[in-house]
Amino acid sequence: MAIERRRLGRTDIEITALGLGCWQFSRGQGLAGLFWPALSDDVIRGIVAAALAGGIGWFDTAEAYGGGASERALAAALTAAGVESGQVVVATKWWPAGRLAGSIKNTIDERLRCLQPFGIDLYQIHFPLSLSSIEAQLDAMADLAAAAKIRGVGVSNFSAAQLRRAQAALQRRGLALASNQVQYSLVDRRVENNGVLAAARELGVTIIAYSPLGQGVLSGKFHDDAAAVAAIHGVRRWRGAFRRRGLERSRPLVDELRQIAVAHGATPSQVALAWLTQFSGDTVVAIPGATRVRHAEESAGALGLRLNEGELRALDERSRPFL
């Protein structure tokens, strides 16, 4: 079966509905590295190879993921898999905290060095935390696009109002904003209520959902296994979602995922990813991460899973407490 491809916003970049999030490749470095175990080169190569074999065609990383460690690990793993520049889509992000817009241009060559031989298809502003205005930041991004150092421009964690400002700033330069990367899953549906999803639809901007499995909650493996909760690495274990009350709150939703999964010969995680990338049409894509090869294999398996209208509605109803 041919794997569906979608346009990234109104750009000419085409992607699969699922990419691979590479936050987990931070190698235990920096703040981002506190959430995941430090993965070996062999494991990272295996994860990337499994994603490619399953049909996933794009990869999302960031400067903040280990100060370039994730970017370097991704580039090495793609090279080891025999992938050449231009054969996959690579997205990364500029870290804005405490920086001016001039940093976007001053640090782009370092981003390209970390990712070599791969170029940057999508360059994103990681958070709306810069000391410069949104307009100044997007103007700097447009300069990079004009210099052919990046193909497309995106943002991340932007509100609806910030999204509109970013789009307007790029339009003045003759460009369209490609995407807004936000936290979105069946256990975190805030973008449906705070105007972000509606603004993205109106503007033709793709929503890239990170933590699309609630950092593992939607797999269901933690609901009946206290040992699995105790084994969670790093600061992630202290999230309320993994405590008894949080798990009981999501249990009815996980039970629904399990029932639908049985009907499709799939897993709860695959059903959760299918819902996320189908419920809003082509507007939403997702970037599940992986710390093991089987996680990447499982996520890629969701590319071929189609839910019917009844299943989409049932999961919508079960997850309404998380709107």
Active site residues: 65
Q: CA-based Rg of the chain, rounded to a whole angstrom?
A: 19
DSSP, residue by residue, 103-163:
HHHHSHHHHHHHHTT--EEEEEE-SS--SS-HHHHHHHHHHHHHTTSEEEEEEES--HHHH
Integer Cα distance of 312 and 306 in angstroms: 10
CB atoms inside a 10 Å sphere around CB 76? 15
Name the residue among 266, 249, 260, 265 with its Cα closest to residue 312: 260
C-alpha atoms less than 13 angstroms from C-alpha of 220 in its C-beta half-sphere: 16
Beta bridge partners of 124: 93, 154
Integer Cα distance of 290 and 59 in angstroms: 12
Measured CA distances, 118 to 58, 71, 123, 148 (Å) = 12, 10, 13, 13
Name the residue among 116, 13, 19 with its Cα closest to residue 68: 116
E strand or H helix that includes residue 182? strand 179-183
E strand or H helix that includes residue 201? helix 196-203
DSSP, residue by residue, 239-289:
SGGGSHHHHHHHHHHHHHHHHHHHHHT--HHHHHHHHHHHTTTTSEEE---
